[in-house]
Structure 1
């Protein structure tokens, strides 16, 4: 009779995570996205994390999907690196994934939800404001401009406005939404309106993930209007990395129906 302990059953391998970013001609964009996905991989040992881009950068989504299939992957999770459910989340990404998987019937690809809204993103915004020099005691005298890239989708704009209203309850003097494109007010207009309302100090918090054309527009608007504080983009903040893993885990639950056929 053997006295050796019974072998423990092996846990099922983690499906790879394919993070899909927008892409940009600005090289800082891809570098920031890769820093974020690197942080995600470091936080979850054994998880294969791949990065793909909708435009401008390599690899493209079809290239990344074909690479997974060529490596024998049969189950994976695609995660849109987006803060709201706007055009890219509702139209672009589903279409490119359907096209990429059409000739790969053996690959089962679940699509995770977008990142926002989430308290973790608000925590990341707070982190970036602290890094820019704001102290906890500054809240009562500081108005914040929540500056997003902007969207023509009314649902996405409503989400940004709701985040601003909720964030105001954390003790800030005021929180106003602003948009770099497609909607008003612009960052500089929101800064000037807070000044006109008598707010003593104004900070701009970019609600964007990586540098690029629209984040640069946010920065120019903040500086042109004389904002006192300009926070960095969210980038590879630990809260954002944690949120990616949370969306990945949610997509793997049996109840998830976000599957690309």
Structure 2
């Protein structure tokens, strides 16, 4: 029996660096599981869209598809856009079983990737002292999702025994620059910013710009195509594939 196809579903961006990063991450998943058919798709702003990809898979004979949303929080896109994609695919292909897993989320292993990216940024900036951290994320109007990011920030700061603030690039305060300035008002002078974004684009660029203007000593790159992320994608897929297995009456 052929295993269900896996579709990684990212938000999408007009920035070509974003699509290149998602392509690299999806290729990493492909390399880890060469027995699977793995494709990438985007909710908006990038091509191909999810229905285009699912149409192609169905035309090639696949009758089961597991969609893994590459979203770090469970907000509007996860609760509205992803279910709409699945429903549309089921209407177009009623004989095909299509399922979306839980979002990628913020797995604890991602903090290790965040540290790697931040250490690289600190080396590049030749910054040798650190007395404060900011965790910059996209932000959303969903306060529960923002609160989750704030909890992750506190855990990250506790691990490094440093004060930390969460910051958001859209929809919620504080912005990265405001968070850096708040720490500076508390006497901190060597503040670094970790970018809790999946891929480069307008929002991480804006967060970096504001943080550096406010006096941050370094800002990390987004998480990018890391093995830790690929492993979580495959873990989400595994749960979804099991859910597609019919249960005998």
- The two structures have a TM-score, normalised by structure 2, of 0.92
Distance in 2 separating the partners of 1:24 and 1:206: 17
Unaligned runs of 5+ in 2: none
- Are 1:203 and 2:192 counterparts? yes
1:243 corresponds, among 205, 211, 232, to 232
2:157 corresponds, among 146, 168, 176, to 168
Residue in 1 aligned with 2:35?
Answer: 46
Match runs of 1:20-59 below 5 Å? 20-59=9-48
CA contact (8 A) 2:74 2:103 kept: yes
CA contact (8 A) 2:129 2:190 kept: no
Identify, as 1 or 2, the structure richer in helix: 2
Q: Which has the larger radius of gyration?
A: 1
Q: Tell me the secondary structure at the aligned position of residue 169 of structure 1.
A: helix
CA contact (8 A) 1:19 1:80 kept: yes
Q: Tell me the secondary structure at the aligned position of residue 35 of structure 1.
A: helix
Residue in 2 aligned with 1:230?
Answer: 219
> What root-mean-square deviation, in Å, do the aligned CA atoms of Structure 1 and Structure 2 show?
2.1
Q: Tell me the secondary structure at the aligned position of residue 51 of structure 1.
A: strand
Q: Tell me the secondary structure at the aligned position of residue 132 of structure 1.
A: helix
Residue correspondences, number = 244
Distance in 1 separating the partners of 2:128 and 2:35: 41
1:97 corresponds, among 79, 86, 96, to 86
Residue in 2 aligned with 1:106?
Answer: 95
Match runs of 1:1-261 below 5 Å? 12-133=1-122, 141-254=130-243
Distance in 1 separating the partners of 2:65 and 2:48: 17
- The two structures have a TM-score, normalised by structure 1, of 0.88
Shift of 1:48: 1.4
Q: Tell me the secondary structure at the aligned position of residue 170 of structure 1.
A: helix
Distance in 1 separating the partners of 2:130 and 2:10: 36
Runs of 4 or more, structure 1, over 6 Å off, are none
Unaligned runs of 5+ in 1: 1-11
Shift of 1:256: 9.4
